[in-house]
Chain A
Amino acid sequence: MDKDNSGKLNAESGDLHDFDIGFPLSTLGLRKMPNTHARQISRRTVLRGTGGVMALPLLEAMLPQTANAVSVAASTPKRLGLFYFGTGMNMREFEPQDEGRNYTLSPTLRVLEKHRDDFTVFSGTFLKHGGGHDGDYTFSTGVKAKDNGAIRNSVSMDQIAAEQLGRETRFPSLQMCVERGTGFGGNLRTLSWNRNGVPLASENDPHVLFNRLFKVDGPAEKELRERGFRQRRSILDVVMEDAKRLERQVGKQDGIKLDEYLTSVREVEQQLERDIDWNVKPKPAVDTTGMSDFSESCQVHMPAGQFSYDRYAKMAYDLIVLAYVSDSTRVITYVVRQESAGGSFPEFGVSKGFHELTHHGNDPKNLAELAKVDRIYMQQWGYFLDRLKSMKQPDGSTLLDHTLLGFSSGMGIGHSKDRLPTCLFGGKAAGVQHQGHLRLPEQTPLSCVWHTMLDRAGVDAGSEFQDSTGVIQELLA
């Protein structure tokens, strides 16, 4: 940052204790987050006050002053979630036979019977550059990102959404996966790619995420945090000086890497300002009664015997519900099952790993076990839907009605590019009219489903969105 402007903020000036919202951020050269809290009652205040919050707080006073009281549903923020079940599914058990709203649920989907009016299952979706084990790379971006070892991806659908839906939340988006990191080069651990085609790393421990989102600091912790903010700012000042200096030395090609560094540091700075901004407000208090216990770490690399996938799955889904309901973020991606790796756990009672099962060789035992695993995942998905529907709005709508959840895989069955296990859930209050089992024309790009989700969430997807041929008209209410 510029030394002349930052003099007042420099650590040397000794005047850094003011973390008020009114802090002159512009002098830092930073993009200030739009201050949405000024003339409205902060929802967090309300969340805090009510203690056990199980309904979406939506008092009229909280609406933007320009908003109309009638448009409660319309002004409720829309949430969006993208989910990946790697290595396909046993589509012989997944695809329903008949079509329309009164279709017969397939054996795999039968566990979602009570939610049948809240989702559409699609036939005919297609990933042009998917199939095999590279489908994860094209899943959320639609481009041929992986080509003979070269990887060049473009922005993912969730990040387009985060740019528009994430402005007012503490976190623009969250990335989750059973494994940490990005997995770049191998089986991906994230679905999110920024505008530079850089993958955004996922967190795999719901406990860690819970603390990040909700853990309320005590006074001592808070002071420590504030000291931390000051320290972080001083350090950022120093490294930015180093980077500026380096920028003058490096050539054009090397400049690309330095740009990545600069962009990243600036983003860290912005997140820091956002944290400082949010630090003066309490974190949302959430009631976890009847939910998972988030007090302990839970992730797949725990010693044998300590990990239960069922517990993990519920923790992860509970966390997503809490993140949505507290409006900590509106955009979440989750690699529920990684491509190729992992996927089945001892408690499932199947004889092989998931990837091994997908090489079923038409062996009936493999196929049956594959479907069994799929059903277990769908059962947990059903739990997730239950939770979302238990969050009621004053007008009788539920959190699910304001949330658009899409899931699919990078392959269908037998490592194919078509026959993807694609479903769209929720969004009834966002103008989605579910169609039961909807058979799309063969080889309809998967991005058409994403396009529809963005459209319904009020996100402008631009004049051309991925390889989409348009939103799916049948779903529009």
Chain B
Amino acid sequence: MKSQSLIILMLSVAVSSPTSLAELPGAVTTLIKTHCIACHGSKTREGDLRLDTLEANFSDSQTAAKWIEVMDNLNLGEMPPDGEAQPPVELIEQTTDWIATELRDAAMQAKSTGGRVLMRRLNRSEYANIVRDLLAVEFLPGEGPRDLLPPDGTLNGFDKVSKALLLDPSLMEKYFEIASIVADKAVITGPPPVPTRRNRMEYEEIDGGIGYIKESRTTIVTDTGIITMSQGMRSDDNLRHPWNGQLIPVRGRYRLRVRVGADAKDREALYMRISRGGDGDIYFGKVPGTLDAPEVIEVERAFDVPGSDEIGIQFEDAPPFGTVNYHFSDLNRAADAAITGGDAQRAGRLRAQMGAQGFPNQGREHPDSRTTDHMPRILFDWIELEGPLYDQWPPRSTQVVFHRGLNQSEFGPAYAREIVARLLPIAFRRPVDDTEVDRIAKMITSEQHHGETFPDAVKSGLIAMLCSPEFLLVNESAPDRSLTADDGPRQLTGHELAFRLSLFLWSSIPDEQLRIAADNGELQSVDQLLRHVHRMLNDDRATALVDGFARQWLKADEFDRFAVDRNLYRDFYSTRNAGLNEAINAEPLEFFRHILNTGGSVLDFLDSDWTMANEPLARYYGIDGVQGREFTRGALPADSHRGGLTTMAAVHKFGSDGNRTKPVERGKYVLDVLFNDPPKPPPPNVGEVEPNVQGENLTVRQRLDQHRTIPACASCHRTLDPYGLALENFNVVGQWRTKQDGERGWWPDEAVVDASGTLPNGVTFTTIEEFRAALRDQSDRFLRGLSEKLFTYALGRIVEPSDRTTIDGLVKHMKANNQTLQSLIEGIVLSDAFRTK
């Protein structure tokens, strides 16, 4: 939020009581008196709208709706109607600005908590992390609480705010269900159902049903494997688990390893796709290694039982090589029929078979394949599947819960009480009293009396723990405190502060060290508090700041909101760009992670000479020397035009509709994300930039200019559009362009991109480099915006006018400390707002 609106807000709070026309700002009164009242006055009331008595009471929805009508009609130029005297543009602007500000303030008040942190429930990421840290329980992907709980509501962009984290009966029901899943997963008393085993298949030894691969003209069998020039590869019985003769005997985690090598010949690289029929891609990317020195691709992930018993490997973009094959047509027809018949699984199996057999690359013998020396090829050495994998047995979680083991003779009320007394303070994030422990311990014993086994009875105790309001709600009303929360701000207790801190940095509960510090009252000391902040930021769990804060701040979940047009941007979908879209989406988050981990300056978000890239992205950006799928820091070449968030392809994709760029959306993104100053919403039904009419070749910018013919609209767009038009040199998929592209296949030479502009502060620019410099010049505005965003995330409430000095202090602290995220985090943690309730 910009400082200006804060001041206006403070003023408007004082005058929020209903007013008559006389109390409106001068410009508004002038406009209404001179141009409106003749028709919308006491006598005529046209359109049932009377403006002489309309009060400035924006918290009343009926009144606010009438003001919106006034604003929209002024903005659209529909009022005063044609033929009447038109008010000066400045007067319209002042009036619409005033209405918009008043509306925003009224909305703010509706969200306001009066600067207090309200009780809220855990969001689903926090729930999942806490269960992990409390019970050491692990879930397969897609099976954990994060996947099972419904997505959380958000307010001001974050899922941490009390008013958005609602609790309804169906969610409560879900909490019971998930708590029982967690308890079942945590307490395991039997032996592992299926033993872990590693099965390997040597490709040169294949026979039986898939032995034909060796006979094909497109393969060469060697001592160590099979080299193929077109054909993919399949697996046979040797890869199946002897427990029940299936590839995947039981749902679980498995490790797949394939040893391969490539001879790309005249190609840059070869690509392959590993898949299991009916189970999607396991790997899609470059073939590593060479024929002489093959390398191993290793993928560890969860597999479920349903699906094919074969692992197929497809040679992507393989050279055409083959003869007429009716088998292919038959398979294709059968697959189509299966889809129509609703049997998607069978269709998937057939398609996988087609893929593995090298279809649809087969056709009539290709002239190029009469001799084969020049043809690229892949060596398949062996394939290995290991699993189901267990870290240990019984799982660590069972040992965490039953700290004295699963010895029958121990089972009884005393052990139950001990278990509860150990876990409950961690789960409730505070010391607990005997009554609380007894309540659950007695319930466990009573379950036993009803015939449940001791471990099962303990599960019930765990469920009660996980469904208690003391667990699900962030409760900052410690029982040992005499003040109630409505008595005004008070210092948090050590345990409350510890939990606020761990929620902020880890989205989880305090660890043992932090708990002990809270027990000993050490967190009241600033030095001790900071020591823990630094310790916690260096812990792996601090990745929660990336997954929680950065992801929401940068709107990373929306990068794919529009799909890139397949016909216009074919290269984007080409095999050599395997993994590119994922890499593009990850770049801004990795950038944040790097700054967080290395103590870099956040101003690099405005402009930088480096970025984070893996091989597919580095290739795309023209960064040399980056190998593999892991992200590393890479220096941007001088001529890359890139540097900072606004030049990242993810942002360009976000600000496009998959077909053409949307400069207004990009501008909105920049203002919201970098400056926390989103523009006011447009009047309704303003529509989109129209496509070119037949025979015209206007660029998006030219059409946008046409679009803004109404002076009142132009005034708002003037502050918004330059931030988006500055990025016009980046197309829908973030590639550099100097000529218009998108929307259609061909553009004339004169359709040149113009990315120049003037920012609202008067700074002009003609190139992206100048624009980046202009952003850097607004670093104070950016630091303020970022502080407000992280403050909202840390406290789970919106920034209020009374936080003004706090935010000022945060910005100052950052500037004195090289603008690091650490300094911002320190500043927030040490602020009164964070340490009081």
Contacts and interface: CB of A to CB of B under 8 A. Distances in A.
Interface of A: 11-12, 14, 16, 128, 131-132, 143-144, 147-152, 175, 180-186, 189, 194, 198-201, 227, 230-232, 234-235, 237-239, 241-243, 245-246, 249-254, 256-258, 260-261, 263-265, 267-268, 271, 302-308, 310-311, 340-341, 347, 351-353, 355-356, 359, 361-363, 414-417
A200 B156 contact: no
A184 B152 CA distance: 7
A265 B172 contact: yes
Of B155, B168, B174, B279, chain A has the most CB atoms within 10 Å of the CB of B168
B119 A258 contact: yes
Contact of A351 (B151, B565, B657): B565
Contacts of B469: 239, 242-243, 246, 258, 261
Given A152-B110, A306-B278, A363-B691, A268 B477 contact: no
B150 A242 contact: no
Interface in B389-442: 436, 439-440, 442
Given A182-B150, A308-B344, A356 B562 contact: yes
Interface in B434-489: 436, 439-440, 442-443, 446-447, 449-450, 452, 460, 463-464, 467-470, 472-473, 475-477, 479, 484-487
Interface in B146-161: 150-156, 159
A186 B557 CA distance: 11
A477 to B, nearest CB: 33
B119 A144 contact: no
16 contacts: A149-B156, A150-B108, A151-B155, A183-B151, A185-B153, A189-B150, A200-B168, A234-B446, A239-B468, A253-B486, A305-B347, A308-B339, A352-B563, A353-B658, A356-B562, A356-B657
A200 to B, nearest CB: 6
Contact of A303 (B173, B278, B442): B278
B385 to A, nearest CB: 18
Contact of A181 (B151, B278, B463): B151
Contacts of B464: 234-235, 238-239
Given A252-B486, A253-B485, A351-B565, A242 B344 contact: no
B446 A14 contact: yes
Interface string B84-109: 00000000000000000001101110
Nearest to B486: A251
B447 A11 contact: yes
A246 B172 contact: no
Contact of A271 (B168, B173, B485): B173
A149 B153 contact: no
Given A151-B155, A268-B176, 18 more contacts: A11-B443, A148-B108, A150-B163, A194-B168, A239-B469, A242-B436, A251-B487, A256-B119, A257-B120, A258-B119, A261-B469, A306-B278, A310-B342, A352-B563, A356-B659, A359-B657, A414-B685, A416-B684
A430 to B, nearest CB: 29
Contacts of A311: 342, 344
Of A131, A232, A361, A362, chain B has the most CB atoms within 10 Å of the CB of A361
Contacts of A268: 169, 172-173, 176
Contacts of A239: 464, 467-469
Contacts of A307: 344
A317 to B, nearest CB: 14
Contacts of B468: 238-239, 242-243
A201 B171 contact: yes
A307 B442 CA distance: 48
Contacts, number: 245
A238 B439 contact: yes
A232 B175 CA distance: 12
Contact of A257 (B104, B162, B173, B449): B162
A306 B348 contact: yes
Contact of B278 (A182, A249, A305): A305
B639 interface: no
A131 B436 CA distance: 51
B371 interface: no
B153 A151 contact: yes
Interface residues on B, range: 35 or more
Contacts of A198: 166-168
Given A182-B150, A231-B447, A310-B342, A250 B111 contact: no
A186 B154 CA distance: 7
A184 to B, nearest CB: 3
Contacts of A416: 684-685
A356 B169 contact: no
Interface in B555-598: 561-563, 565-567
A20 B475 CA distance: 39
Of B280, B436, B470, B685, chain A has the most CB atoms within 10 Å of the CB of B685
A183 B348 CA distance: 31
A261 B475 CA distance: 12
Nearest to A131: B684
B48 interface: no
A209 to B, nearest CB: 13
Of A227, A237, A261, chain B has the most CB atoms within 10 Å of the CB of A261
A384 to B, nearest CB: 17
A11 B460 CA distance: 12
B351 interface: yes
Contacts of A303: 278-280, 348
A131 B153 contact: no
Nearest to A251: B485
Nearest to B61: A144
A81 to B, nearest CB: 19
A235 to B, nearest CB: 5
B9 to A, nearest CB: 13
Of A16, A186, A256, A303, chain B has the most CB atoms within 10 Å of the CB of A303
A260 B447 CA distance: 29
Contacts of B563: 352-353, 356
A310 B339 CA distance: 10
B345 interface: yes
B107 A149 contact: yes
B473 A258 contact: yes
B118 interface: yes
Given A131-B685, A132-B684, A144-B65, A249 B479 contact: yes
Contacts of B561: 340-341, 355
B463 A261 contact: no
B121 interface: yes
A198 B566 CA distance: 40
A147 B64 CA distance: 11
Given A184-B152, A264-B172, A305-B344, A235 B467 contact: yes
A232 B469 CA distance: 16
Nearest to A347: B339
Closest 3 interchain pairs by CB? A181-B150, A251-B485, A184-B153
B103 A199 contact: no
A235 B167 contact: no
Nearest to B107: A148
Contacts of A149: 107, 111, 155-156
A307 B342 CA distance: 9
B750 interface: no
Interface string B54-82: 00000001000100000000000000000
Given A148-B103, A303-B280, A271 B440 contact: no
B113 interface: yes
Contact of B342 (A143, A147, A308): A308
Contact of A352 (B348, B479, B486, B565): B565
A252 B118 CA distance: 10
B280 A304 contact: yes
B477 A361 contact: no
A429 B278 CA distance: 47
Nearest to A231: B460
Interface string B283-318: 000000000000000000000000000000000000
Given A16-B450, A198-B167, A253 B156 contact: no
A234 B460 contact: yes
